[in-house]
Structure 1
Amino acid sequence: MTVRDSPAPQSAPVGALQAAIFDVDGVLLASPHERAWREALAGFADPALFTTALYQRVVAGKPRMSGARAALEALGVKDVEHQVVRYADRKQKRLEALIEEGSVAAFPDAVRFVQALAGLGWPMAVASSSKNANGMMRLIHLGSGQSLLDVFSANVCGRDLPRGKPDPAIFLMAAAELHIDPFHCFVIEDAPAGVQAARAGNMMALGVARNSDVASLRTAGAELVVTSLDDVAVEALVDGRLCGRAV
């Protein structure tokens, strides 16, 4: 078990938290987004250069066009403005094929965490820039005819917004649809851009380091970083506090 805390939280005092907002890809689901981005690169750049570290640093959490542009620029592709639409479209087609093939799975620790918060009666929202997020969550069955998507009382996935993460718009929209002040929400994210968006929206951020990226999530501003959501102290959330389980 590994739990690392950042310095004392600045967004909300003890007892202030009342609701949770979840990112999807990398937090709830092991989805094929990264694979689709990588495989779609053939003809633009060497796919082997599209590493997990690069994906997390410049693409994860961003809308499709922003992610495509960021990836091509990071890889030094020439004439990005003329290539970006074609790359984004190719990535989307590859992603849809991978989803159809069944290349989507839920992280067991995430399902346990969601169910624990549901047991507390907490309002929960799901917020992803991906327009495929809802379809992927419907594929995850929790029993009693319920899918993972059904657990959330607010869903702002795939909304068209003027700016993507690290802009806080998507998380502020989620808080509004939960009818909870952002000050009383915390966001669960696996990407630095998502953590930055949460903090920009005056929300606490819980970073999930599934790719050995504890340092980058802490640098982005996460108050708590864990390698598994099983390491979050659910009993502390009863009192509105975000902290790790005692080791």
Structure 2
Amino acid sequence: MSIDAPIDESLSSVVEYDEISCEMCLQLNASLSFIAPLEAVLFDIDGTLCDSDPLHYYAFRDMLQEIGFNDGTPIDEEFFIDNISGKHNEELCSVLLPDWEFEKAMQFMVDKEALFRRLAAEQLEPISGLNNVCKWVEDLGLKRAAVTNAPKSNAELLISMLKLQDFFEVIVLAEECARPKPFPDPYLKALDALKVSPNHTFVFEDSVSGIKAANGAGMPAVGMATRNPEQMLRDAGASLVIKDYNDPKLWENLQEMLLQKLPL
């Protein structure tokens, strides 16, 4: 399901993205140690549940080349990571097509997303270990939501292909929020919908904008280094960076929380 209820004003005042304190930043960057007890886990979708970034890269590369972007030279993965990954389509209009009328630029993005969905329908794979972490969340009875900057059609396709329709209690789309990631609005909306505190919730994210959004909403983020460099995710504020859901670092943290009854 997707939600369109207004954000609880008391919750939205927990942390403002533009005014997050240095003290809070340091706390979030240090560890996940202040979560106790754990109530919920939030997930980004692209690059976090599934290795979809290469498909977005291929779609952008081919379509930008078709319109003569960069003098017709195909963009490389470094350009994609630095300028495209994790950004909302409205922002990408100004980043990639600043001289185009907005309506024309948005139609380009719509066409690109259609190409992405065709590629995803043929090639999409879950991040290794995803089923294990989903089972862990379910076994503990934790609340969970998917929170994404992706268009609704993309989110629905990916969640369906991953067979997670019954796993998520809530799906929050940035297009239903006042502001997308890197602002905290989508994550604040998820917290409000699940009726949980940011002090008892953490986030899985693979992008700089997503990590900043999670931190801005008062939650630590586990960075998924599926494609983006580990140091980039750490610099963005990730409390822990893992390669996939089988990473021993993740399970050491989770096991410590359960066995010692300590914060994650």
2:161 maps to what in 1?
Answer: 139
- Confirm or deny: 8 A CA contact 2:128 2:244 kept in the other structure: no
- 2:110 is paired with a residue of what secondary structure? helix
Instruction: State the alpha-carbon separation in 2 of the partners of residues 41 and 178 from structure 1.
Output: 39
Shift in alpha-carbon separation, 1:14–1:129, aligned structure 2, 3 A: closer
Deviation digits for residues 28-82 of structure 1 (CA, Å, limit 9, x no counterpart): 0222223222222121414755333333333222221112322x1xxxx6xx142
Number of aligned positions between the proteins: 223
Instruction: State the alpha-carbon separation in 1 of the partners of residues 213 and 204 from structure 2.
Output: 11
Q: Does 1:99 align with 2:117?
A: yes
Instruction: State the alpha-carbon separation in 2 of the partners of residues 112 and 227 from structure 1.
Output: 15
1:110 maps to what in 2?
Answer: 130
Q: How does 1:142-161 map to 2 (within 5 A)?
A: 147-161=163-177
TM superposition shift of 1:218: 0.4
Instruction: State the alpha-carbon separation in 2 of the partners of residues 133 and 228 from structure 1.
Output: 20
- Confirm or deny: 8 A CA contact 1:199 1:221 kept in the other structure: yes
Normalization by structure 2: what TM-score? Answer: 0.75
Instruction: State the alpha-carbon separation in 1 of the partners of residues 262 and 104 from structure 2.
Output: 46
1:45 maps to what in 2?
Answer: 69
- 1:162 is paired with a residue of what secondary structure? coil
Q: Does 1:8 align with 2:30?
A: yes
Amino acid at match of 1:207: G
Amino acid at match of 2:148: S
Q: Kindly, what percent of the aligned residue pairs are identical?
A: 24
- Confirm or deny: 8 A CA contact 2:81 2:228 kept in the other structure: no
- Confirm or deny: 8 A CA contact 1:56 1:191 kept in the other structure: no
- 2:45 is paired with a residue of what secondary structure? coil
Deviation digits for residues 8-41 of structure 1 (CA, Å, limit 9, x no counterpart): 32x7615343211100000002222232222221
Which structure features the higher share of helix residues?
2
Instruction: State the alpha-carbon separation in 1 of the partners of residues 79 and 257 from structure 2.
Output: 33
Amino acid at match of 2:64: L
- Confirm or deny: 8 A CA contact 1:12 1:184 kept in the other structure: no
- 1:117 is paired with a residue of what secondary structure? helix
Q: How does 1:1-247 map to 2 (within 5 A)?
A: 8-9=30-31, 13=34, 15-31=36-52, 32-42=55-65, 43-46=67-70, 50-70=75-95, 72=96, 80-82=98-100, 85-101=103-119, 102=121, 103-131=123-151, 132-140=154-162, 147-211=163-227, 213-231=229-247, 232-233=250-251, 234-238=254-258, 239=261, 241-242=263-264
- Confirm or deny: 8 A CA contact 1:12 1:204 kept in the other structure: no
Amino acid at match of 1:18: E
Gaps of 5+ in 1: 1-5, 141-146, 243-247
- Confirm or deny: 8 A CA contact 2:222 2:239 kept in the other structure: yes
Deviation digits for residues 168-207 of structure 1 (CA, Å, limit 9, x no counterpart): 1001111111110122211111001111111111101100
- Confirm or deny: 8 A CA contact 1:63 1:130 kept in the other structure: yes
Shift in alpha-carbon separation, 1:44–1:118, aligned structure 2, 3 A: farther
- Confirm or deny: 8 A CA contact 1:41 1:87 kept in the other structure: no
Moved more, 84-93 or 115-124: 84-93
TM superposition shift of 1:106: 1.7
